[in-house]
């Protein structure tokens, strides 16, 4: 059974959460996250493989802490994420910072904090080496192998903004050498929601090969991108098959290698995606002739994936256990016609006041949420291992949202008459 269904086995519990904490609310399941971490951790028992969690997928500090307890390090892509990981107790050496157009002050912060800096351009490598000679860093390459669930998240292709071109590796090496900087790691990330596992395997081959062109490599990071099934009948990513094929390559590489080397993977979506859902309440049922809309109290400001990537999320009416019998579009409350969360879904006859669960929303849900239309952000609830639940982010009221906005903008409110 797919993990996310675990969250749905107790619709009464979800309804109690919705009634107690209101909607819209993200709900996460701690046990599912821990189980998924454990599955990955035990994948390569005989190989020097470590796991980093891609913080961008879901950065709630309670979730980061669970994942840290499970023995994962962190893959960060901004200095803010670095700071956040430090605040949840991650050790600097367990924080990998893949920069992307990093500023000098962010670079200085990362060096001060002692995290592993992964540099993605020759210009930045040059400025790093000039500023911090006799140190070490990692480099991200552009492998010209790419894959993702949508063109906006396939990151390894020829025209990608990410990574250093493979043919520039000798130049990278000579920049580093001229400042006595050791390039100790090499990294690539080909995209998110990889559709063809063979692309990930090809990237592994490419990185293993590329590492041979660098003198002092002590780790290779293959990035993230493992997909999860969103739309029936999507199948789970075949982890065991992947393990067999990737494991063979890694073991073969180690045989011919003198000296210690570590391998890293940095998944985000696979770890937390199925562990979360978004609870929302239907407040309008509207027949527009060809379409019947279920109008909800959330929108693309809370779950951007359908609007940004045409992504599919399953929707369940947790207030009704009856057989599905009607076709609806699920609409958000944002003032844009593109604010549609689900199209042509067959659900039980749905009434105003019903609660819907939008599934597989644990990754790239809350982290991509915004205040568009000046709306408050959703609350977040964590179902603990003992079955109890705790709030891990409260929802501000409309008044509090505006107060916070005025405070941030330093606008002195006037009294309205």
Ligand X SMILES: Cc1ncc(COP(=O)(O)O)c(C=O)c1O
**How many other β-carbons are positioned within 10 Å of the β-carbon of residue 103?**
11
Choices 2-10, 203-211, 265-273, 338-346 (CB under 6 A): range interacting with ligand X: 265-273
The one catalytic residue in 37, 85, 129, 335 is 335
Comparison of 57 and 204: residue with beta carbon closer to ligand X: 57
Comparison of 30 and 266: residue with beta carbon closer to ligand X: 266
268 contacts ligand X (rule: CB under 6 A): yes
The least distance separating ligand X from the CB of residue 61, rounded to whole angstroms, comes to 18
Q: Which residues pair with 297 in a beta bridge?
A: none
The least distance separating ligand X from the CB of residue 394, rounded to whole angstroms, comes to 26
What mask of x and - would describe binding to ligand X in positions 288 to 327, judged by CB under 6 A? ----------------------------------------
267 contacts ligand X (rule: CB under 6 A): yes
The least distance separating ligand X from the CB of residue 77, rounded to whole angstroms, comes to 6
Tokens of 223: 């990035």
Q: How many whole angstroms separate alpha carbon 173 and alpha carbon 415? A: 63
Choices 51-59, 350-358, 371-379, 405-413 (CB under 6 A): range interacting with ligand X: 51-59
Q: Which residue has the tokens 């002050």?
A: 105
Comparison of 226 and 316: residue with beta carbon closer to ligand X: 226
Site for ligand X in 343-372 (CB under 6 A): 363
Among 156, 193, 274, 332, binds ligand X (CB under 6 A): 193
Tokens of 409: 């903008």
Q: Which helix (H) or strand (E) holds 398?
A: helix 398-409
Comparison of 17 and 194: residue with beta carbon closer to ligand X: 194
Among 36, 142, 189, 302, binds ligand X (CB under 6 A): 189
Comparison of 44 and 355: residue with beta carbon closer to ligand X: 44
75 contacts ligand X (rule: CB under 6 A): yes
225 contacts ligand X (rule: CB under 6 A): yes
192 contacts ligand X (rule: CB under 6 A): yes
141 contacts ligand X (rule: CB under 6 A): no
224 contacts ligand X (rule: CB under 6 A): yes
**Catalytic (active site) residue 335:** yes
269 contacts ligand X (rule: CB under 6 A): yes
Site for ligand X in 383-402 (CB under 6 A): none
**169 Cβ contact list (under 8 Å, min separation 6):** 141, 210, 213, 214
> If we measure between CA atoms, which residue out of 107, 64, 58 comes closest to residue 85?
64
Comparison of 192 and 211: residue with beta carbon closer to ligand X: 192
Site for ligand X in 76-135 (CB under 6 A): 77, 98
Comparison of 52 and 282: residue with beta carbon closer to ligand X: 52
Choices 43-51, 238-246, 261-269, 316-324 (CB under 6 A): range interacting with ligand X: 261-269
The least distance separating ligand X from the CB of residue 331, rounded to whole angstroms, comes to 27
Question: Which residue ranges make up the site for ligand X (CB under 6 A)?
Answer: 54, 56-57, 75, 77, 98, 153, 189, 192-193, 223-226, 266-270, 363
Q: Which residues are catalytic?
A: 335
């Amino acid at each position: 059974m797919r993990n996310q269904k675990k969250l749905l086995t107790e619709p009464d519990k979800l309804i109690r959460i919705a009634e107690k904490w209101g909607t819209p609310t993200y709900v996460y399941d701690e046990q599912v996250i821990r189980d998924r971490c454990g599955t990955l951790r035990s994948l390569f028992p005989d190989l020097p493989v470590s796991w980093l969690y891609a913080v961008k997928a879901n950065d709630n500090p309670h979730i980061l802490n669970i994942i840290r307890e499970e023995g994962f390090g962190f893959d960060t892509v901004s200095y803010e994420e670095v700071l956040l990981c430090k605040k949840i107790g991650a050790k600097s050496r367990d924080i990998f910072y893949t920069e992307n157009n990093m500023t000098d002050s962010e670079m200085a912060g990362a060096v001060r904090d002692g995290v592993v800096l992964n540099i993605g351009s020759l210009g930045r490598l040059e400025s790093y080496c000039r500023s911090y000679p006799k140190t070490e860093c990692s480099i991200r390459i552009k492998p010209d192998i790419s894959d993702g669930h949508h063109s906006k998240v396939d990151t390894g292709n020829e025209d990608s903004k990410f990574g250093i071109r493979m043919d520039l590796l000798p130049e990278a090496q000579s920049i580093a050498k001229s400042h006595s900087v050791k390039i100790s790691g090499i990294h690539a990330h080909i995209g998110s929601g990889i559709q063809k596992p063979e692309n990930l395997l090809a990237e592994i081959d490419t990185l293993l090969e590329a590492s041979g062109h660098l003198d002092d490599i002590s780790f290779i990071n293959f990035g993230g991108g493992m997909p999860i099934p969103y739309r029936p009948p999507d199948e789970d990513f075949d982890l065991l098959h992947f393990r067999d094929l990737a494991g063979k390559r890694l073991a073969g590489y180690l045989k011919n290698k003198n000296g210690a080397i570590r391998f890293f993977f940095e998944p985000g979506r696979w770890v937390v995606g199925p562990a979360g859902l978004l609870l929302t309440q239907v407040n309008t049922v509207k027949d527009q002739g060809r379409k019947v809309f279920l109008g909800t109290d959330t929108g693309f400001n809370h779950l951007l994936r359908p609007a940004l990537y045409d992504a599919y999320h399953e929707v369940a009416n947790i207030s009704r256990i009856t057989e599905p019998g009607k076709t609806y579009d699920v609409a958000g409350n944002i003032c844009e016609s593109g604010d549609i969360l689900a199209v042509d879904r067959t659900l039980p006859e749905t009434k105003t006041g019903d609660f819907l669960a939008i599934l597989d929303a644990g990754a790239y849900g809350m982290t991509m949420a915004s205040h568009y239309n000046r709306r408050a952000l959703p609350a977040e609830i964590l179902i603990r291992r003992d079955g109890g639940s705790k709030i891990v982010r409260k929802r501000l009221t409309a008044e509090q949202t505006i107060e916070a906005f005025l405070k941030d903008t330093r606008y002195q409110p006037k009294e309205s008459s």
